[in-house]
Amino acid sequence: MEKTLIQLEHIHKSYGKQTIIEDLSLEVRDGEFLTLLGPSGCGKTTLLRMINGFETPDKGEVLLDGVNQVAIQPNKREVNTVFQSYALFPHLTVRENIEFSLKMKKVDKNEIKERVDEVLELTNLEALASRKPGKLSGGQQQRVAIARSLVNKPKVLLLDEPLGALDLKLRKQMQIELKKMQRRLGITYVYVTHDQEEALTISDRIVVLNKGNIEQIGEPFEIYHSPKTEFVASFLGESNFFEGKYENGVFHYGDAKIPVEANGTKDANLLSVRPEYININLGKTEENALEAMVTEVTYLGQTNRIELKLKDGKKVYALSEIEELEKGKKVFLTFHSKECTLLKKQEQ
Amino acid sequence: MVKKKHMSNILIALLAILVLVFLYLPIVIVIVYAFNADTVNCFPMNGFSLKWFQVMAENKDLILALEHSLIIAVVSTLIACILGVPGAYAMYCYNFPGKELLNRIVMLPLILPGILTGIAMLTFFKALGVTQGMTAVILGHSTFLIATVLPQVYARLRRMDHNIIEAAQDLGATGFQTFVHIILPNVKTAIISSALLSFTLSMDEIPVTYFLNGVFSTLPIQIWGMTRNGITPEVNAISSIIFAVSLVAILISNMLNKED
Amino acid sequence: MKNIFFTPKICATHKLLCAKYSAGMENIMEKRGAIEIENLDKAFGENHVVNHISLSINAGEFISFLGPSGCGKTTILRMIAGFETIDGGDIKIDGESVIHLPPHKRQVNTVFQHYALFPHLNVYDNVAYGLKAKNVSKAKIKEEVTKALELVQLDGFEKRMISQMSGGQKQRVSIARAIVNKPPVLLLDEPLTALDMKLRKEMRYELRNIQQKLGITFIYVTHDQEEAMVMSDRIVVLNGGNIEQVGKPKEIYQSPRSAFVSDFIGETNSFDGMIYQVQGDLATLQCESGQFMAKTTLFKEKEFVNISIRPHQVKWKEEMQEGFHLKGVVKDYIFTGSFVNAVVELVNGREVRIARLAGEGLPKVGQTVFLYWNPEDTVVMKNPAGDFGNMMENMDLGEWVKK
């Protein structure tokens, strides 16, 4: 039985005349790695800051383990935060940074040493314990920031875009490290990011946010393969959208009849197909294949990104390992009928 | 651009040297003549002697004035720090009505002519019933010294990563613990350097002191009095010492600022 | 009367000369924006940031400087722009050395990471700035600014104030401001880093399109190899102030010249091992994890090498394949969207990844698999480490087959 650890209920927040969050409710389960994903300004960081207490909702409640947090100051909440800029104390060594919270809580000296040593080992920082933050690399500073929080054994660890400042290569390594650590420790993580690939890689569940509203919540695979709205389909990965009408297993796009196994809303007027589910055929293998011309081929290493133009001028993007595609070649496109999603077009 | 010694670089260097010479040559002369064996300042010097330092040390009035100056400088600097540092922190943390105005006004005592400040304070203190004397002088000095401490500490705070305050709180520190364990160590150098600067300014201060001191004398006022009748070599001696101490204080202050 | 001037011979020569002249003109116009970097050197105190770098950049090319933080890529860019002094070497733009020229006299413009827009001016005035400084006529300014804004898809935004614009819009203003001066070379210093991931990916293709439309040289600095692969004609991979490799994206990806490059570009499975046997152009390699085949004639038996194979090239079967001894169990899947990776734990604990588009054809979690691949795909490089003392003793071929 999954226990609910954090509850956000009917949260409202505005700054002056601008409403940031409107009537949002969310549950975080004990021991899960939950990601708040969305573009800049969607409210994800604001929500995180309501959990650690640096923001208060105008309306609504924040509950941790059933306890209403409204009256509890940030320094007394049983959560810890890893900030985007790490916010390490520049005048203290790595060890002193990690000890800080235990000292403030007046924990016994011997216990402090034991717990700090444990965390230093966990985060591989033993060799750097007496260095100051100024002498550490970005990746090392990142680990100190995490260590500093973990030493408290918090119920929840909040991470605010912690990998944003790192090089791509290091970021990918750290993603795996973070995930492994979370699994090992069993602590609940609430993670904020705008990078959807990152969210897909590390999360148990993803909350997709847009302009202060939850678009969809679910496991990465689920959200990616069965997006519920146009926003989700386009924000996670890439999507090709076709406007038309769905009727009895067939999506009518202009003259074309695209067979679709119903995956989504029945009164749909938008078909979403991911680039990897478009098959490029050199000949017209099926009756309902769409004719298209190759306009650009970009080498991506693991595969190629093919840009195509349909007869009506619409641009379509596909991923394919086929080597013989050059600009100007005429091809025929078919879609994986099971991997198309039917959606309703969203008002802007 | 490859490093090249252009004509313009040489000319600028030359100009800079000329300006420095113009500013410091008089002081250098004063220091040189502090070691003059003769009573009369003539060029070239006839002999080298330390006797003026001895004369200076035996001048009871001068030493008393020095004591007064030291007490005033230390106490005023302390007050300036005790009020200025939390003041800077408050300005950094909170947005209150009039904050921008305060930010500008706090520099006023440094900008206004000392005479204006002196007269204003004299009038004000008289109205309050504070008589001329040590207390008045200390209050007067503290007022403009805050203008030295607060902006420097505020500037240092603004260079700090704002998030470390939230990080401290997130890790369980109360407001007070945050101030003591996190803020103070990070502005330490700004506090020390502005304190040293304040000390120096207070030691050298004349106009405000003149209006507020009443009967007793501070060092600069005493020296000023001595020069009324001509510059005796012991004035050179005391000036050299003041210069040396000020120089050391400013150098330390500068070094600390650079560390940040 | 026959026209004595236009005898066939003279006619032919005349035609030839005309052809050469126009070709020459075209060549002259095309050649704008070629850069020669010769033995460029720079140190900050003891830190040798740029180490005697030489490079030729073709006119009209989109070239990326790729590498981790501190590799020198931004420093080189700044030296081309004139914002950094040079300790040694030369930089030539279109054949002329520019190292004595201040930034505003060089034929380059820069797009900065944090835009560096003028906050007190609106979009139009920001973009027009460089032209105004050169005293170009008002009418001409209007024409050029309009064109530039159209190119970056900001037509209609002339009167907006910078403070009211989003990150992506600001970046496009920044680009417009640079290209309106029609420089033969545009320098871009990680211009997309400050943007959201989604916008970043879209802007990559936009920037590529803009470069192709303008036909000018783009020098692009990034630490993101996906970005470099997608946008560049050629990539310069830098590490610790040195050039590791220069080449087209496909070349660098498929034929990395060092372990650093193969590791930095794309995902890879990398092993340290030794050449066990060479038969013709087929080599058998061994390492602690197992044995595999490679097509190479560059190495001799008993040489220590670094071996790498890309996850999407790894194949699997339920039985052992000839020449390959790599057995493992599928532990987990890593889902990144269009690609799914299966993480296989080998008998010695080492992890190998298999990547498939849309996860098609991956083994199931918990399944025992035998890995193999096309020997041509194995990348074998000299191993800088060189000494594996223990490894030789611990190798026991028989064991693997049993497990």
Full-model pTM: 0.83
Distance CA B153, CA B88 (A): 6
> In chain C, what residues touch B1 (CB-CB under 8 Å)?
82, 85-86, 99-102
Residue C304 bridge partners (DSSP) = C274
Q: Under an 8 A CB cutoff, do C198 and A238 touch? A: no
Together in a domain, A305 and A174: no
Average pLDDT in the C82-93 region? Answer: 92
| Residue B22 maps to a domain | no
| Domain identity same for C284 and C249 | no
B112: confidence class by pLDDT, cuts 50, 70, 90: confident
pLDDT exceeds cutoff 80 at B38: no
Residue C28: inside a domain, yes or no? no
Single out the residue in A213, A231, A249 at which a domain terminates: A231
Bridge partner list, C345: C329, C351
CA distance C239 to A169: 14
- The sign of the CA dihedral C8, C10, C13, C19 is negative
pLDDT in tens, B40-92: 666 777 778 788 888 888 888 888 888 899 999 999 999 999 999 999 998 89
Query: Chain B residues with CB-CB distance to A under 8 A?
Result: 161, 163-164, 166-174, 177, 181-182, 185-186, 188
Residue A99 counted as domain residue:
yes
**pLDDT reported for residue C22:** 47
Q: How confident is the model at residue C14 (pLDDT cuts 50, 70, 90)?
A: low
Which pLDDT score is estimated for C16?
55
Is residue C6's pLDDT more than 70?
no
Q: What percent of chain C has pLDDT over 90?
A: 48
**Residue A10 placed within a domain:** yes
Which of A45, A89, A142 is the best substitution to test chain B (most B C-beta atoms within 10 A)?
A: A89
The C-alpha atoms of residue A114 and residue C201 are separated, in whole angstroms, by 46
Element (H, E) at A81: strand A79-82
Least confident range of A119-128, B46-55, B160-169: B46-55
Residue A38 clears pLDDT 60, i.e. is over it? yes
Q: Based on the fold, state whether residues C279 and C244 are members of the same structural domain.
A: no
Q: What is the CATH number of the domain that holds A289?
A: 2.40.50.140
Same domain, A93 and A222: yes
**Percent residues over pLDDT 90 in chain B:** 30
Phi and psi at C159, nearest 5°, equal -90, -5
User: What domain count does chain C have?
Assistant: 2
pLDDT reported for residue C396: 37
DSSP letter at B179 equals: I
State both tokens at C110: 């820069």
Residue A25 and residue A2 in contact, taking contact as beta carbons nearer than 8 Å: no
Q: Which of A54-68, A172-186, A327-341, B221-235 has the lowest mean pLDDT?
A: B221-235
Q: How many CB pairs under 8 A join A and C?
A: 84
Which range is least confidently modeled, A81-85, C232-236, C246-250, C259-263? C259-263
Verify that A183 and A324 share a domain, yes or no.
no
Domain of residue C162, residue span: 60-88+99-254
Q: Give, for A19, the enclosing helix (H) or strand (E).
A: strand A18-29
Query: What per-residue confidence (pLDDT) applies to C342?
Result: 95
Residues A90, B173: C-beta atoms closer than 8 Å = no
Are C232 and C141 members of one domain?
yes
The reply to whether residue A85 touches residue B163, judged by beta carbons under 8 angstroms, is yes
Any domain includes A74: yes
- Comparing A27-41, A255-269, B118-132, C202-216, which segment has the lowest mean pLDDT? A255-269
User: Mean of the pLDDT values across residues A282-292?
Assistant: 86
**A140 in any annotated domain:** yes
Rounded CA-CA distance B255/B234 in Å is: 32
Between residues C382 and A293, the one the model is more confident about:
A293
As a whole number, the mean pLDDT across chain A is 91
Are residues A227 and A316 part of one domain? Answer: no
In a domain, A338, yes or no: yes
Tell me if C193 is assigned to some domain. yes
Question: What is the Cα–Cα distance from C195 to C167, expressed in whole angstroms?
Answer: 6
CATH of the domain at A143: 3.40.50.300
Arithmetic mean of pLDDT over chain C: 85
pLDDT in tens, C91-135: 999 999 999 998 888 989 999 888 888 888 899 999 998 888 888
SS3 C111: strand
Give me the domain span that covers residue B211.
58-259
Q: Which domain holds residue A28?
A: 4-231
Residue C46 belongs to some domain of the structure:
no
Looking at A231, A251, A285, the residue that finishes a domain is A231
DSSP secondary structure string for all residues of A31-45: T-EEEEE-STTSSHH
Q: Decide if pLDDT at C4 tops 70.
A: no
| Domain co-membership, C340 together with C365 | yes
Q: What pLDDT is stored for residue B108 in this prediction?
A: 84
Contact across the interface for B172 and A152, Cβ inside 8 Å: yes
Q: How many domains does chain A have?
A: 2
Based on the fold, state whether residues A286 and A207 are members of the same structural domain.
no
pLDDT at residue number C75: 94
| Cis peptide upstream of residue B44 (ω within 30 degrees of 0) | yes
Domain boundary among C223, C254, C285: C254
Tell whether C391 is covered by a domain: yes
B236 within domain boundaries = yes
Residue of A nearest to C312 (CA): A302
Asked if B182's CB is within 8 angstroms of A81's CB, the reply is: no
Amino acid at the residue A140? Q
| Rounded-to-5 percentages of helix, strand, coil across chain B | 80, 0, 20
Residues A200 and A247 in one domain: no
| Domain harbouring B159, CATH code | 1.10.3720.10
Interface test with A, best of B159, B160, B171 (most A CBs within 10 A): B171
Which among C215, C231, C254 is the end of a domain?
Answer: C254
Of C209, C231, C254, which residue is a domain's last?
A: C254
For chain C, what percent of residues have pLDDT higher than 70?
87
What CATH number did the domain enclosing C208 receive?
A: 3.40.50.300
Q: What is the pLDDT of residue C397?
A: 35
How far is the C-alpha of C363 from the C-alpha of C371, rounded, in Å?
11
Would B38 be classed as within a structural domain?
no
pLDDT band at C220, cuts 50/70/90? very high
> Predicted confidence band at C318 (pLDDT cuts at 50, 70, 90)?
very high
Task: State residue A226 phi and psi, 5-degree precision.
Answer: -130, 65
Does residue A80 have a pLDDT over 90?
Answer: yes
The domain tally of chain B equals: 1
User: Among the listed ranges A34-38, B41-45, B136-140, C299-303, which one has the minimum average pLDDT value?
Assistant: B41-45
Question: Is residue A308 within 8 angstroms of chain C, CB to CB?
Answer: no
CATH number reported for the structural domain that contains residue C387 in this entry = 2.40.50.140
Residue A348 lies in a domain: no
Nearest C-alpha in B relative to C86: B2
The H or E element that residue A116 is part of is helix A109-122
The stretch C69-96 carries a mean pLDDT of 92
Residues C121 and C236 in one domain: yes
- Whether B52 is covered by a domain: the verdict is no
Distance CA B185, CA C249 (A): 50
Higher-pLDDT residue of C344, C263:
C344
Domain shared by A223 and A257, yes or no: no
CB B113 within 8 A of CB B207: yes
State whether C221 and C332 are in the same domain.
Answer: no
Selected for mutation to probe chain B from A72, A104, A152 (highest B CB count within 10 Å) is A104
B168 located within any domain: yes
Residue A52 shares a structural domain with residue A21 = yes
Q: Note the pLDDT of residue C263.
A: 87
Q: Do C338 and A299 touch (CB under 8 A)?
A: no
Q: Given this model, what pLDDT does residue A260 score? A: 87
Task: Report residue A93: phi and psi, to 5°.
Answer: -75, 175
Average pLDDT, chain B: 86
Could you say which of A196, A276, A300 has the minimum Cβ distance to residue C229? A300
Instruction: Categorize the per-residue pLDDT at C258 as very low, low, confident or very high, splitting at 50, 70 and 90.
Output: confident
In a domain, residue B19? The reply is no
C250, C264, C336 member nearest A169 (Cβ):
C264
> Domain ends where: A170, A204, A231?
A231
SS3 category, B4: coil
